[in-house]
Structure 1
Amino acid sequence: MSGGIANSDAVVRVGVVGLGHVARHVHLPLLTALDQHFRITALCDSAPGYAADLARGLGIPDSGVFTDAQSTLEHGEFDAVLLLTSGSHASLAAEALKRGYAVFCEKPLAHTIEEAALVAGAGVGAGAGAATGERLMLGYMKQYDSNVTEAVDSLDPATVRHIDVNVLHPPESFPATDWTPVAAPPPTHRGPRAHWEYRAVLDSACHDVALIRLLAGVAELDVDFAASWGARGDEPGSLEFSGPLPHGRYSVRWHFLPDHLDYEETVRVHTETDTHYLAFGNPYFFGAKSGFERELLAFHALVTAGTAPLSGVAEGTADIRTALNVLRALGRTA
């Protein structure tokens, strides 16, 4: 069990649970490159032999290789854990927090408000960390993009009239790799998760919701309009939702386009005096000082100095409420 680190210059030992595309193409290479801040001491994946193959390439001994998350958390010998599995992370996050680990959690935090409440209860007072007891950071990397930081620093939320987000989302593509892919488990369709719009918000548009919260300086987004169209079979379609801000409005248009050439996202923040324009391409092709790298450095600051993250349990819970509000605005029962 970890008791936390009080030295901001310390190398943080991390265990990585879930070795899918994002782990292989983003987090493992970055953690390795940031060796003055992190050292990977444990890998976990449910595919037999897969974690062991990666561990050999990273110089991790067999004692740090696991095929189930519970054994990983029981083994310990790390200060923090990265939960990079698919689906809800509530149960693993709660268990890790109870054991005193700091947690980096990919989206979504949870699928329901009840699940999120379990994480919140587990995180209060668990180990050293931020003054509020926050020990969990959500992987909303766009909040840490340098252009977003610059926009936030120059914006007065009281002058924001409108934030407009447009996302063109083809099937995900990743850089070429020699690592063997691992198939993701099929999605679970229960309760609100049965609606593709709910899944689209929690699995993808949550990044846009998080950006709006940050740019507008609000804790949560209300939704007073939503529409969806274009879904085909099991594939999602187009989703639009909008609502009020303290001094204006926001709108999100999210389109899943199976035949579109590449991912594209644009954000326009219209204030009383000017417009801030932000653009994002395929997030998995990134350079130095990317949002991914900056968020890992922010996680290091959380673990070692107690610096609160831009998005934690409270923000992940707020995003679930936003997804539920989208369903209500669509006229669908949650």
Structure 2
Amino acid sequence: MERVRVRVGVVGLGEVAQIVHLPILQALADRYEIAALCDVSPGLLAAMGERYGVPPERRYADAHELAAQPDLGAVFVLNSDEYHAEHAIAAIRHGKHVLVEKPMCLSEREAVEIVAARDAAGVQVMVAYMRRFAPAFTEAVAAVRALPKINYARVRDIIGANRLIIEQSSAVLRFDDVPAPLGEERAERARRLVAEAIGDAPPEIVSAYRLLLGLGSHDLSAMRELIGRPQRVASARQWNGGRFIAAILEFDGYFATYETGVDQQRRFDAHLEVYGDTASVRVQYDTPYIRHLPTTLVTQETRGEAFVETVTRPTFKDPYTHELETFHEVATGKAAPKTTPEDFVEDLQLFAEIVAALRAA
């Protein structure tokens, strides 16, 4: 049976859109049509419009104008996270389904407004936590649930700055043509929203919160699906100006460690590992900026006299592709999203608990 093609408008044409979303949308041409583009850079907007065959009248500098385009079925909100809530709500109010990159928003108030708009419009909103769509991860969830007991868990995401990988693997277009007042307004909006979320805070706590919203949201969201939400944050520390964080999380009968940071090494070490009495389960991720690097599932188990390690690569298909295939099912009414706005609120609440522990330290 022929699939329904969803006409998509894309808001934000930066590096992740250029390397990941737009090429995948083009590759999934049986499911999607790139029908509108939006960016605040005139040069980038023109270049991406020409590359993907979007005519000038369907290229927008204002996301609200794109949201009003009547023939769109969905909008991808991929721009700077200070604008995610505003632009997602604009699309929702025009009856569009929305895929919004993480973090969905910066404050819980914005999340409540997104949920209210979604419910009023009767559309779907899915948060783009692509790691949770990797087959290795979904297999790990089943394997962890089969463990009779959990003794310990570790969540780790220590990576080199994205540019270190991108500059060796992709040609990303960047234009120096964004009006200066827009940059100033973005910085002020970020300051205001972070203050709304965590109150007045020193720069290192602000930086730590932004790290949690960005890189940390991937890890802690996946952790919640894998082992649930912790009962409390036992302790947390930050250093290097909030660019590194370590936390101890208490669960029912065991503890987990969370460690994250960004440095200048050209490597990507992101994994979750759960330790049982006689078996452990680990999901290992690689950088999403080089497509089709495999996510692997590593299990270790003692069987009688033997210690057995198994490495499973379920597929070369990258998690982003699985995510966009799933969103197509959501946008065509065949599935409900698992990464909902309500699910993201769980992350915001956990971030707030970690920030409180950082302050207490």
> 2:269 maps to what in 1?
264
1:253-292 aligned at under 5 Å gives the runs 253-257=259-263, 259-287=264-292, 288-292=316-320
- Check 1:277–1:25 CA distance in 2 against 1; reply closer, same or farther (3 A cut): same
Q: Residue 197 of structure 1 aligns with which residue? A: 208
1:223 is paired with a residue of what secondary structure?
strand
Conservation of the 8 A alpha-carbon contact between 1:242 and 1:250: yes
CA distance in 2, matches of 1:121, 1:26: 30
Conserved 8 A contact 1:20-1:182: no
Report the AA paired with residue 271 of structure 2.
T
Pairing 1:211–2:204 present: no
For residue 99 of structure 1, the aligned residue among 68, 88, 94 is 94
Structure 1, unaligned stretches of length 5 or more?
A: 1-6, 129-134
Tell me the equivalent position of 2:136.
Answer: 147
Deviations 1:47-84 (A, max 9, x none): 11322221122122222111110111112321000000
Asked if 2 retains the 8 angstrom alpha-carbon contact of 1:241 and 1:326, the reply is yes
From 290, 310, 324, the counterpart of 2:338: 310
Query: What's the CA shift string for 1:300-324, capped at 9, x where partnerless?
Result: 1111125222211012111111111
TM-score, normalized by length of structure 1?
0.87
Letter in 2 for 1:266: H
Deviates more, 1:167-176 or 1:91-100: 167-176
Q: Which amino acid aligns with 2:158?
A: L
Distance 1:249 1:305 in 2: 39
Equivalences for 1:1-334 in 2 at 5 Å?
9-88=3-82, 89-127=84-122, 135-156=124-145, 159-173=149-163, 174=166, 176-182=169-175, 185=183, 187=187, 188-190=190-192, 191=195, 192=198, 195-216=206-227, 218=228, 222-231=232-241, 236-257=242-263, 259-287=264-292, 288-331=316-359
Contact 2:99–2:126 (CA under 8 A) maintained in structure 1: yes
Once the two structures are TM-superposed, the CA of residue 223 in structure 1 deviates from its matched residue by: 2.1
Q: Is the 8 A contact 1:109 1:317 kept in 2?
A: no
What residue in structure 2 maps to residue 132 of structure 1? none
Partner of 2:311: none
Q: Which amino acid aligns with 2:68?
A: E
Q: Is the 8 A contact 2:149 2:277 kept in 1?
A: yes
Greater displacement, 314-323 / 204-213:
314-323
Task: Report the residue type matching 1:331 in the other structure.
Answer: R
Q: Which has the higher contact order (CA 8 A, sep 6+)?
A: 1
SS at match of 2:81: coil
Residues 39, 62 of structure 2: 8 Å contact kept: yes
Decide whether the 8 Å contact of 2:157 with 2:271 is kept in 1: yes
Structure with more strand by fraction:
2
Residues 221-240 of structure 1: CA deviation (Å, up to 9, x unaligned): 74231111222xxxx43201
**Displacement after TM superposition at 1:248 (Å):** 2.9
Q: Secondary structure at the match of 1:254?
A: strand
3-state DSSP of counterpart to 1:85:
coil
Q: Structure 1 residue 164: deviation in Å?
A: 0.3
Taking the aligned partners of 1:170 and 1:221, their CA distance within structure 2 comes to 31
Q: Which amino acid aligns with 1:314?
A: E
Shift of 1:153: 2.4
Over alpha carbons, which structure has the higher Rg? 2
Structure 2, unaligned runs of 5 or more: 293-315
Cα offset, 1:332, TM superposition: 5.8
Superposed displacement of residue 38, structure 1: 0.7
Which structure has the highest helix share of the two?
A: 2
CA contact (8 A) 1:9 1:304 kept: no
Query: Within 1, Cα distance between the matches of 2:39 and 2:290?
Result: 24
